[in-house]
Structure 1
Amino acid sequence: MKYHDSIKKAEQTSTLTIKQLQQWHLPASPINYAICYEYIIGKNPTLNQQIKQHLSLGKKLDEYVIQELYKQYILGQSTFREEIVTDIDELVDSLANNNQQSMNCANTLLKKLDYNIVNLKSNNQKAISGAIQQIEQASKSFRQKQQQLSNQLIISKKQSQSLKAELAEIKKEIYLDPLTGLYNRKALNKNLEQWTLEDPNKQVAAIVVNVDKLSLVSEKFGGLISDVLLSKIANKIGSYVGDSGLPVRSGHDEFLILLPEVERNIASEIADKIRQGVEKLRFVSSKSGVRLPHMTISMGVNDFTLSQNIDTVLNYTRTLVVDMQRHSSNKITVAS
C-alpha cells in the first residue's frame, strides 16, 4: 500500500473506503477507489477540504470532480515529462556551447589582426606579405567556423520550434479542460497566484455559472448528448469572455468566470449577455434530426480583492446559485 500499512490496517481502510463509495453513490472503479482511499486515510487535508466543500453545497461527487481530484492530487499532473526537460537542457547546453565557440573564434581573429597590424605598418615587404597571408588564413578559418556555427544554429532553431509545439500541447493537457476547451482548476490557481504577486489588492469580479437541469438531460438522452450540450454552452461562454477574463470549468455542470478590474455591476451586465446568449442556443441531433432540450443557465455575481479569502467568496457565490436553482432557473443573483 502507498502508506505501508499493516495488512489488518489496510483491510480496515479498504472496508471503510468501500462503504464511503457507497455513501457517495460511486462505483468502486480504480480512480474512485484511489480518491476515496486518500480521503479515508486523511493524510491529504487539501483533498479532504475540496471534497467537503463540494458536498457542503449539496452537490454530488461525479465523474468529472473525481477525475480532476485524481489528476491534481494523485498523478501530480503539473510535472513535465522527463524527456522534455532533458531535451530542453540539451538545447540550452548546445546554444551556450555555440555561443562560446563564436566568442572564441572572434577573439582568435582579433588577436591575429592585432599581432599583424604592426607588420602591415612595417617598411619590410616580406613582413607585410606575411602579415597579409596570416590575416587571410585567419579570416578564412573564421568564416568556416562561423558557417559551421550557423548550420548548428539552424538545427537548434528547428529543435526549439519542435519543443515549443510540444510544450504547447503539454500546457493544453495541464491547463485546459479536454471536453470544453476552457481552463481547468489548475489554471485557475496559477492565474490567481500570478495576479496576487502583481497586485494583492487587485479587484476581481466573479461569475459562477450553473447549467440548469443537466442531470435530467443526461438521464433522458445519455451522457454523450449532455457532454455535447455542455461543450456548446462552454463555447458560448468563452466567446463572451475572450482575453478580458478567465473562463474556467470548475465542476461537472459549473463554470467560473473571473474578470480582473471589472466592477460588480458591469460583471452583472456581462452575465446577463451570456445568459441571453445561451438561452438563444438551439440544439438538434446531427444524426437523427431530433430537437434536443432547450438549455438555460443560472448565475451568481460577486467580486473580491485578491487579499481576501477567495474560497470563501466563491463558495458563498455558489450558494447563491444553488439556492436560486431550488426555486427557479435562467436567473442571475447578484451578491448584496
Structure 2
Amino acid sequence: MNYSESNSQAGEFLRLTLGFLAQHNLSATPVNYTVWYEYASGKNLKLRQAIDRILEKKLPLNNNHVEALYQKFISDGDRVVISRLLTKLNLMLREITTYVVETEGDLSTHGQALDSLADQMTDIHDYDDVKNIINQMLDTTKAILQSGARLQTRMKVSSEDLKQLHKELEVSQKEARTDSLTGLTNRRGLEKRLEIERIRARQNNSPFSVIMLDIDHFKAVNDTFGHLVGDSLLKGFADIFSNLVRRNDLAARYGGEEFLILLPETNVEGAYAVSEKIRTLLCKKEWTLKDSGKRIGQIKASMGIAQYKLGETGNEVITRADKAMYQAKSTGRDRIVIHSDLNLC
C-alpha cells in the first residue's frame, strides 16, 4: 500500500513525473500526477505497458485520456491519499509510544496496545482500515491520559492531532470520489454507490434506473472554441444535473463528455421523465462565452436508459444504458432511448 522508495528515488520519480506532464502539455492535477508518478516508478506494470503502447503509436494523451488510464489501471486509486495519512499516523504512533516508554507503572499495557496498532498498519487496504486505526489510537490516548497525569499536556497535543487527522480523512475521502473539474461524483464514487443500490434493490425488491448521457458534438466545441470552453461546458452540464436531480439521486461524471445519473427507487418510466426534463431544458438553453458574450448556440445530448435487473452487476446495467445511448446517437442525437425497447441482448 505504501510507496517504499527512498527519498532520492522519490525525488527522481518526481522529476520524471513533472517532465512527462510538461512534455504532454498536461495540467498538474492529482489524477495526472498519480498516473505519471506510477508510470515513472514502474510499479504498475499494466499501466506502464498501456502508456508505452500509446506512445509507440504516437496517439494523443490529453487530460481525458489520462483520466481513463487512471480509472482503468489504478484500481487502488486512493492509495496516494492513504499513504500520506499513514505516514502521519506512524509519526504520531512513534511519538505516543515514546511518551509511554518514558513513564513507569501501569502504562505498560498501553504500550502493548500501541505495538499492536503498529503491526496493524502493515496491512492497511482502504479508508475504513485507516479510520479503525485512528479510532483505536484515540481510545488508547484517552486511556493513557487517565492513567498517567504526567503525560497529560504532551498527550493532549497528540490527541488533538489525531482528531484533526480524522477530519482530513473525511475530506480526503470526499475528494477521492469527486471529479475535480465538475464537482460531481467520479467513477470510483459511482461504483461504490451502485453497489449500495444493488444491495438495497435485492433486500427491498425496489427498482433503480440509470441514465447515460453524452454531449452531442462535444469535439466540435473543443475544436472551435478550445478546451477551456469545453471544460466550462462540462461544468455547465454538471450544474444542470445538480439542480434537477433529487437529494438521494446521484449525478456522476463517467468520463470525457459522458455523465451518468443514478435514480434510486425509480423505474424506467420515472427515468424517462427525468431525461425528458433534461432534454427540454437543453432545447431552450442558449450557451454563450462568458467573457465575450459570443454565441455558441444550443448544445444538446443523447441519452440511454436502463432499469436494473436483479442479479446483474453494476457494470452490466451501465453497459445496457450505454448501448441505448449509442443507439440514440446513431439515430440522430438529441433523443432518449430505453434499452428495453432495443432488440439487443
Q: Does the pair score TM above 0.5? A: yes
Q: Greater shift after overlay, 249-258 or 170-179?
A: 170-179
Larger Rg: 1
Task: Name the SS of the counterpart of 1:262 in structure 2.
Answer: coil
Quick one: distance in 1 between partners of 2:222 and 2:214?
15
Q: TM-score, normalised by structure 2?
A: 0.61
Is this contact kept in 1: 2:201–2:207, CA < 8 A? no
Map Cα deviations across residues 115-144 of structure 1 (whole Å, 9 max, x no partner).
Answer: xxxxxxxxxxxxxxxxxxxxxxxxxxxxxx
Q: What is the correspondence of 1:152-231 to structure 2 with a 5 Å cutoff?
A: 155=157, 158-198=160-200, 200=202, 203-231=207-235
Quick one: distance in 1 between partners of 2:143 and 2:166?
24
Alignment partner, residue 258 of structure 2 = 254
| Alignment of 1:318 onto 2:329 | no
Alignment partner, residue 99 of structure 1 = 142
Q: Quickly say closer, same or farther: Cα 1:220–1:166, change in 2 above 3 A.
A: same
* Identical counterparts, % of pairs: 24
Shift of 1:155: 4.3
Q: Quickly say closer, same or farther: Cα 1:204–1:221, change in 2 above 3 A.
A: same
Q: What is the correspondence of 1:25-64 to structure 2 with a 5 Å cutoff?
A: 38-39=49-50, 63-64=63-64
Quick one: distance in 2 between partners of 1:208 and 1:300?
5
Shift of 1:160: 4.5
Quick one: distance in 2 between partners of 1:40 and 1:175?
24
Task: Name the SS of the counterpart of 1:243 in structure 2.
Answer: coil
Is this contact kept in 2: 1:200–1:305, CA < 8 A? no
Give the number of the structure with larger relative contact order, counting CA–CA contacts within 8 Å between residues 6 or more apart.
1
Alignment partner, residue 119 of structure 1 = none
Q: TM-score, normalised by structure 1?
A: 0.62
Alignment partner, residue 117 of structure 2 = none
Is this contact kept in 2: 1:207–1:256, CA < 8 A? yes
**Structure 2 unmatched ranges of 5 or more:** 1-23, 27-31, 40-45, 54-59, 94-133, 341-345
Quick one: distance in 2 between partners of 1:152 and 1:301?
58
Is this contact kept in 1: 2:70–2:77, CA < 8 A? no
Map Cα deviations across residues 215-270 of structure 1 (whole Å, 9 max, x no partner).
Answer: 11111111111111111011111221243222111121111111121111111111
Shift of 1:288: 1.7
Is this contact kept in 2: 1:185–1:248, CA < 8 A? yes
Alignment partner, residue 285 of structure 1 = 289
Shift of 1:62: 6.7
How many equivalent residue pairs?
252
Quick one: distance in 1 between partners of 2:166 and 2:246?
23
Map Cα deviations across residues 297-330 of structure 1 (whole Å, 9 max, x no partner).
Answer: 1211110135214433322322222222233232
Quick one: distance in 2 between partners of 1:327 and 1:101?
69
Alignment partner, residue 302 of structure 2 = 298
| Alignment of 1:68 onto 2:68 | yes
RMSD across aligned C-alpha pairs, in angstroms?
3.7
Q: Which letter does structure 1 place at the counterpart of 2:73?
A: Y
